[in-house]
């Protein structure tokens, strides 16, 4: 009986993953699966937002040389060409959404969230 439930859950998760990929077919080709994961811990969360805000404060507010090494392709989550407060805000909005909807805080779901909310084109 235990094996039946494991197999059923695995099948449901596989179908859900394929259904999501069908909704956003070009997301993997267009965006890195590490989008938003600035510290490379495989999660998009407040730590990444904090690093982006620290970078923004040092570079644009304090006009100090950049002491923080951020992967710019990951940190510029809205793909406007600059790392700004808006990028951090999008990460925090996603984290809140992920917690209230019980979805993983991974870059893959973050890209889907951004696409679904009109931030990134399909």
Q: What is the pLDDT of residues 35-65, one digit of tens each?
A: 999 999 999 999 999 999 999 998 888 888 7
pLDDT class for 119, splitting at 50, 70, 90? confident
Tokens of 22: 């069908």
The owner of tokens 């392709």 is: 73
Closest CA to 17 of 104, 76, 93: 104
pLDDT in tens, 63-98: 887 667 788 999 999 999 999 999 999 999 999 999
- Helices 85-101 and 107-116: crossing angle, nearest 10°? 100
Tokens of 3: 């094996």
Of 118 and 8, which is predicted with more confidence?
118
Domain 26-116 has CATH 3.40.1410.10: no
pTM over 0.85: no
Closest CA to 111 of 100, 102, 97, 122: 122
pLDDT class for 9, splitting at 50, 70, 90? low
């Amino acid at each position: 009986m235990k094996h039946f439930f494991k197999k059923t859950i695995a099948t449901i998760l596989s179908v859900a993953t394929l259904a999501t990929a069908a909704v956003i077919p070009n997301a993997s080709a267009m965006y890195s699966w590490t989008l938003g994961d600035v510290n490379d811990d495989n999660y998009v969360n407040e730590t990444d937002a904090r690093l982006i805000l620290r970078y923004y404060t040092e570079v644009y507010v304090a006009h100090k040389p950049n002491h923080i090494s951020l992967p710019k392709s990951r940190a510029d989550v809205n793909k406007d060409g600059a790392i700004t407060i808006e990028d951090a805000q999008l990460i925090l909005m996603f984290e809140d959404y992920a917690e209230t909807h019980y979805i993983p805080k991974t870059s893959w779901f973050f890209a889907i969230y951004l696409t679904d909310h009109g931030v990134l084109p399909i």
